[in-house]
Structure 1
Amino acid sequence: MLSLLIVDDESSVVDTLAFTIDWEQIDIETVYRAYSANEALRLLSTHSIDIMLADIYMPGMSGIELIEQVHKHHKHVKSVLLSGHAEFQYAKQAMTYKVFDYLLKPASDEEIIQVIGRLAEQVKQDWQDVISHDKVVNTLKESLPVLKDKLLNELLVQRQPKDSLDYLLSLYEVPFQIGDSMHMMLIRLEESFAEYNDRDIYLLEYAIMNIAQEIFAASFDLWSCRDTNNYLVIAARGRKSTAGEAMGEEAKRFETLALQLQRNIGLYLKRVVSVLVSKSGEFPNDVYALYTHLVNQVRSRLGNETGCFIPGDIPDVELEMQPVTLLYETPTFHHLLDSHQWEAFSLKLEQVLNNLKQQTNLSEEHVQEAYMVITGAFYHYAHKHNRLLSELLGGMHLVDRTVRSVAHLSEWAYHVLDKFKMDAIVEQRSSKDKLIGKVKDFIARNIGTISLQTIADAVFLHPVYLSRLYKAETGQSISDYIHAQRMEKAAHLLKEESIRIYEISENLGFKNAAYFSKVFREEFGMSPQEYRDQIKG
């Protein structure tokens, strides 16, 4: 809904127009009134006004002068002038100030509604155009990092048609052109599974790119993305200032700066990363080949290593495909977890890790194989105990991870194993607490007929094992606890005069009243009758 300001030095004209015309039919919700040009300017400075209908002839400041001020200071306001025949030439002059139209007095309501209605539609369309344009621009700006990341990821695996690539590079403000010489760098973050989640990794990548921009700014334009392997990939092109530099010298400069980047990441971010640098190539034709070479280098060389720097002139290595047979030998990881043989599991894990470390040029796939076998055992254990692995580990951030090296695998596996051990201890503690609770509850409900055998039968344990477990958990034997509960119950029942002493003796499981009295005297230093008399008074 729009707003309208009516300006005329004749108050009757202003009020009549304001109150007699149905402005809502043309989407005007609010009508402001001003009886002079100066009052109109005050309203314009304090209220949001879309359209102004003003008389051209007013004492003091004329309608023409008012229009001029509006044109200078309130450009979004659209104006219509009311004029008599004598002021018609002035009305034409006002057209230079972007006046939408003019009406000759006396104008009918229908004429006013028609003109103001057309102007209202134009105002709404203008705002719609502004909103749409601003929305597109703002959305594009906000989405540029994601769009740039997506475009580079597409180039890593396929070629874009030349025409569309030119357009997208320009639209996304990517400082690359078809035919440029380029270099590529792959950074593998050696993140800690125990400390870092996905949000931390994104923040770390952001910090790395800030450092990279500082280091490379004088010589190279950079373009980065996170690839499907969760590697940070950086493409670079030499700036015009170094265009005359020989390609070999530019490649050497790029490699030197990449090494400096790795050192600065360790110095300022306290993080270990592996950095691999490609050979030189042409954009975009060589993007896929350079990227594939870097990924192959990671997979073939960095299964055992972390914090490496591999320059672009290192040739590809033929992988040695040796199976990790120890993973599948009995006892398996599944069996060791099922039986809570934590030390044996840890020993087998150590043997597997050592076997991997001893292999030369270990591939990432070998590490992945070990990771999947061990993860399968963890999943099996969690589900067998009616739990989700993510629940046991305290969240998905420790489950959905890509293990890239033996060091990663070691840190992750031992971390999860410790989680399992702690959970088992808590679960065992809880189970024992529940068992002791069941024993005490059974004793309370069967105090007159209780025995070690009946208790053991109730909780499905051997009497000897139950007796030892109860003593270890409570520091008190079951017989001592039963005796204490009988004496407590006896003292309570003696307060009821209606219950005879021999009846109390029978209810508590004593052979006869005399034996009951003997046991009671040993506990309280007086006979049951003396205890009752003392309570009475």
Structure 2
Amino acid sequence: MYQLLIVDDQPDLVEDLASNLPWDTVGIETVYQANSGQEALEIMNTTPIDIVITDIHMPGLSGLDLMEQIRASWSNVKCILLSGYNDFEYAKKALQHQASDYLLKPADDEELLRAVKKATMQLEEHWQEISSHQSALNSLKDNLPILRNHLLLSLLQGQTFSEEKLNEKLDMLDIPFNSSSPYCMMLLRMEDYFYEQSERDSSLLEYAVSNIAEEIFADEYKLWQTKDEHGYFIFLIMSKNGSSQEQAPFLHLVEQKAAQLQHYVKLYLKGTVSLVLTKQDEFPREVQETYHFSLMSFRQRIGSERGFLLTLTEEVKHGEANSLSHLYNPPLLIHLLEAGQWDAIEEKLKHAFEELEFKWGDSHEHILETYFMIVSSLSYSIHKNKLWMTDIMGGEFNQLLSGPNFHTINQLRSWTSGIINAYKDHMSSRVQHSRSSTVQKVQEYVSGHLEDASLQSIASHVFLNSSYLSKIYKLETGEGISDYLSRLKMETAAHMLRTTPEKIYEIAAKVGYLKTSYFIKVFKDRYGVTPQEFRDR
């Protein structure tokens, strides 16, 4: 369903068109109103509008001027122009600004609905084309290098996929790697000379190093590469025949290629690179562990030295102390708490505790690591939401003051579950209270400004986007703001007709209708009688 904006300097006409046409039959969900070109632009800056119906002749910003600005900022919005003049020049300008339709006033209801239906069909056709399979494939092809890099970075950071899902992604991104095939990893660090260049030259040199690597390994190996946040280049190297080779010959051949890479980079690019090569393993097994082991080896064994080639012949050691991977794999707990993704938080903690039990069940140090990670994430999120931990945790806050006193994983799991649930309940209650408060502010404003209240003026008063305000108001009350406003105006008018001697045109003005005839029509539509007949009864 689409969103429509009607723009005219005659408020009664805008109100009439917005309220009395069956817009839902032509695919319109919400109708917004503006009484000037400037007001229309303000609405469009805060609300996604799909179709605009605008009068050409308006003081200040004319309909044609408005359309020109819409074209500059919102090229996909469809515009329908209304004009009281059958003037060829206006029609010509409308065509120049790519108007969806050009109608003469007064346009009858059916004509206007047909024009909007035509615009929605044009939008549907346009977005269908944009989102079509072929367009998606073309877009995918254009962005393949970025998507390949992103997938490899995800694997290096610990994201896991089922074998079927990973093979599907590899196939889609045209990455010639196979699950369970042998691979080794190569980390490359470009040395100082490269980063003494300008940013543009440095980028070109990085591109040149990658090309040289591809050229050297291309005959016998497939490469998949990316660059990490530390500035290291990571290459996964897999034999083209995909078959397993003896460890020593495989490493020896890859080492020869790596030495050639260092040589040609120095010869042709006048710079040096340092390299770390790992042992052969089956893809994608141990990709994250191998990556971290290589990084650690780079820093500890090569350090600040330049132009080194290090081949790691030992396995990644699992018996040594290590951090809990599930705690630090993206998305981080701190980010999930910030976004309020409670199901994902529960899933992440479940995996973290499973890993804790499986790998480090007898390690009090790892229980402490988990505890401190959870507490730091919680404290950051709670304070960022301008709350106090004591308000969320109650008596459990004393646990923090006295320090962790967990001897088993179950104790920590139970404590964590209680705190997370308390925080979740508090935030849910806070959202509910915030929405209820917004509804109260809306109703207070409308009751005091019935004469000039509109969706836009109400949204400005409560400092919310009008589209979002409409959604939460309906969610809380079951009634749309426009329906509430119309109902309140009619109920107020009916009360005044029963209890005051004021004239009908005076009552119409007090409830926001400048045109008495239009007020009478809307009142009769609601109550089945005219205001005078209602009063006489």
Give the structure-1-normalised TM-score: 0.38
The structure number with the bigger radius of gyration is 1
